[in-house]
Amino acid sequence: MTRSPLHAARAGIGALWCTTLALVALSFEHPLLVGSALAVAIAAGFAAGVGRAVMRSLVWALPLALAIALINALVTRDGLTLVFRGPAVPGIGRLDITAEALAYGTVLGLRAAAIMACAALFTAAIDPDALLRALRRRSLRIGVTAALATHLVGVLARDGRRLAEAQRTLREGPPPRLGVLRAVTSGALDRATDVAATLEVRGFGGGGRAVRIAQPWSRHDFAFLASAVAMAALAIACGVGGWEAFAAYPRLVVPLEPRQLLVAVALPICALLPFLDRRGIG
């Protein structure tokens, strides 16, 4: 069953759309625009039916964002507004924290959260098998490498759970060497079997170039391609035209003018408009 228009679009177009959204978030520095990109990623996740996966990624992104903001405030010596005068550390200097460094670190953390949300959307909404089939048509080696990389994530996670269960059952004393050897050996054999099955199912053992089956472009393909182009054009125009006008150093300047508001409103419209067409969605 097709869950959303993003699932209905071909995998390459969906991957391009998610990647473009992440690059747009990476290109912005104005807090309003970065927040708009983050909101778009969250809204797209719920529109695609994978909102929980995106929100779980933000749970992990929050500590990272706080760490980025704190580290930037500690290591950056720029900025005129002193908010905390710390002690002098040998080899580093005085740990002074400025409002500008703290604010810019917060923007960097918010940007990291937006990129992680886009990556979670990519992982949850884009069919990896379809991407791998497209890669295999271009290069067999690239397809094999991608298949191994994506499949081994789940295999290693199962290995970690297996070892954790073994540790819980052997808390009473030191584990016997034979038991540890048996667990490691069985994990290696299971991993080899899973990898071989993955390669066989995806048809990499047949060799040669895969037969390409022509698929007509759907309206969802055109819609998400146009959306990606519009988001990229908006980000380029914003950067080339200097619409952001954001400056963190030496003094914090966060303008809030009609052009910033226009970009903050236009980005969600360009990104989320393809999700409104749900014809043919089960």
Mention every residue, 6+ apart, whose C-beta is less than 8 A from residue 29.
107, 244, 246, 248
From the list 193, 196, 199, 190, the residue with the least C-alpha distance to 129 is: 199
Backbone angles phi, psi at 197, to 5 degrees: -65, -40
d(CA 21, CA 226) in angstroms, rounded, equals 13
The C-alpha atoms of residue 251 and residue 40 are separated, in whole angstroms, by 29
Which parts of the chain fold into alpha helices (H)?
A: 5-8, 11-27, 31-47, 51-75, 99-125, 128-138, 140-169, 177-201, 219-240, 258-272
Contact assessment for residue 44 and residue 275, using Cβ atoms and an 8 Å cutoff: yes
**Mean pLDDT of residues grouped by 10 in the chain (282 residues)?**
81 93 94 95 94 92 93 86 80 80 93 94 86 64 60 64 67 59 67 68 57 75 96 91 85 89 95 89 68
> The whole model's pTM is what?
0.76
Q: Answer whether 228's CB lies under 8 Å from 20's CB.
A: yes
